[in-house]
Amino acid sequence: MANLASDFIGIKSPNPFWLASAPPTDKEYNVRRAFEAGWGGVVWKTLGSEGPPVVNVNGPRYGAIWGADRRLLGLNNIELITDRSLEVNLREIKSVKRDYPDRALIISLMVPCDEDSWSDILKRIEDTGADGVELNFGCPHGMAERGMGAAVGQVPEYIEMVTRWVKKHSRMPCIVKLTPNITDVRKPAEAALRGGADAVSLINTINSITSVDLDDFAPEPTIDGKGTHGGYCGPAVKPIALNMVAEIARNPETANLPMSGIGGVTTWRDAAEFMALGAGNVQVCTAAMTYGFKVVQEMISGLSDYMDRKGFTSTSELVGRAVPNVTDWQYLNLNYVTKAKIDEDACIKCGRCYAACEDTSHQAIDMSEDRVFSVKDEECVACNLCVNVCPIEGCITMERVAPGQLDQRTGKVVPEEYGNWLEHPNNPGNTCAAE
């Protein structure tokens, strides 16, 4: 079994699977059970300033999207930060950390946007024994209206300023949690780095309305006839989160900024993908909220088996391995030509590829009287739609047309050499080829 031990900005944990700051980490009872189940670390549910805690709604706070068999695909919430008193939380954190010294315990914080508030809270948590702080600049609902959470996270200058305060008033490692509700995630990441952050974590939840009740004409979840946007998370958000992680990883300015990957991590494979794109570890919320703490056992065995298969002895060998292969569209090799190929023996003759290609793409699939489906190489642009809609995995494959061979569609021989848009004669910005 591969060694999954993780060192994230100096914070050690037996594995790279942390629970994200959320209900699973809202109290001692939960966190102890999480550690017993095998989680490597937790980011404690976000704490606010001293004084009366926030209150949550008393109607439904979650909404969801399901597959036909009620598999939960996406979750949305309008929960706020912890609604328990600061004193109780701090006492519990201290007691848990004392009993689980080998696990990572990070405290998530969100207080008003002034230096005193931050220096106060940092003082209060100093003697808990916690391993670090995470600044919640991401919460998209409820707190933003009060000038916290996403209201800070959407303004890079504020991120930088607050991060600077935190580094000034505390020696703890500092992770800045980013909101995805912005246009370019590199900007807040750069700001965090400038402010002195040791790492960023992303993504927090995405502004969302899960559905609308078409009888009451109210968004879900509905409270007394009204609803509000919530934060979206779970499997549905993973592709968005992966891209944001990759954007930061390949941005020269932030390339060395450690990241904790969050957003839809449900299986070991999701975790490995985040890590391959540069995340040093991952945080999980919805998968635990859906299936309970035990899911971590599958993540541990799956990642470990994968690493054994690959011959990786440490998770650091996986981290960032896919980053060099993430590029801009303009650098993609236009001389790489493929054609769809249908395996007639595997084909069950549903005709989906035909309908998709015929109706919405390039009329490149032929359907015979007796339902034999085949690709017309002279029409196929290799868009991959048929592969994506075919219900049989591996039935349609993309086969490369080797350099030197004729591309039936263009009537041209496939060039040997790499050639991208920048060099393409159709590119108006390309002066040399236009001669």
Ligand X SMILES: Cc1cc2nc3c(=O)[nH]c(=O)nc-3n(C[C@H](O)[C@H](O)[C@H](O)COP(=O)(O)O)c2cc1C
Task: Give CA–CA dist 297/286, Å, rounded.
Answer: 16
Q: How many CB atoms lie within 10 A of CB 51?
A: 8
Is residue 141 at the binding interface for ligand X, with CB under 6 A as the rule?
no
β-pairing, 17-19 with 279-284?
parallel
CB 41 within 8 A of CB 5: no
Asked whether 163 and 141 are in contact (CB, 8 A), the reply is no
Query: Which one, 265 or 364, has the nearer CB to ligand X?
Result: 265
For residue 298, give the nearest of 275, 269, 274 by alpha carbon. 269
**CB of 285: closest distance to ligand SF4 in angstroms?**
15
Residue 286 within binding range of ligand X, rule CB under 6 A? yes
State which of residues 264, 278, 280, 320 lies at the interface with ligand X (CB under 6 A). Answer: 264
Binding of other proteins by 171 (CB under 8 A):
no
For residue 89, give Cα distances in angstroms to 24, 76, 81: 14, 25, 12
24 binds, among ligand SF4, ligand X, other proteins, none (CB under 5 to 8 A by kind): none
Q: Does 351 bind ligand SF4 (CB under 6 A)?
A: yes
Stretch that binds ligand X, among 63-71, 99-107, 256-264, 273-281 (CB under 6 A): 256-264
DSSP-assigned states of every residue in 361-398: S---EEE-TT--EEE-TTT-----HHHHH-SSTTTEEE
CB 154 within 8 A of CB 181: yes
Tell me if residue 357 is catalytic. Answer: no
Nearer Cβ to ligand X (89/170): 89
x/- map, 360-379, ligand SF4, by CB under 6 A: -------------x------
Q: Shortest approach of ligand SF4 to residue 277 CB, angstroms?
A: 30
Residues in CB range of 355: below 8 A, 6 or more apart:
none
Query: x-or-dash pattern for ligand X, window 235-254, by CB under 6 A?
Result: --x-----------------
Q: Which of residues 249, 347, 375, 380 is near ligand SF4 by CB under 6 A?
A: 347
Residue 215: CB minimum distance to other proteins, A = 13
Among 159, 246, 265, 401, binds ligand X (CB under 6 A): 265
38 conformational bin, left if phi > 0, alpha if psi -120 to 50, beta if neither: left
Among 313, 230, 245, 315, CA closest to 279: 245
Determine contact, residues 5/14, Cβ cutoff 8 Å: yes
d(CA 236, CA 12): 30
The binder of other proteins chosen from 351, 381, 397, 414 (CB under 8 A): 351
Nearer to other proteins, 326 or 350 (CB): 350
Residue from 257, 271, 396, 401 that binds ligand SF4 (CB under 6 A)? Answer: 396
- Beta bridge partners of residue 174, listed in sequence order: 133
Q: Minimal distance in Å, beta carbon 238 to ligand X?
A: 7
367 contacts other proteins (rule: CB under 8 A): yes
By the criterion CB under 6 A, which residues form the site for ligand X?
20-23, 45-46, 75, 77, 79, 81, 108, 136, 138-139, 177, 204-205, 233-234, 237, 262-265, 284-287
By the criterion CB under 6 A, which residues form the site for ligand SF4?
342, 347-353, 373, 390, 392, 395-396
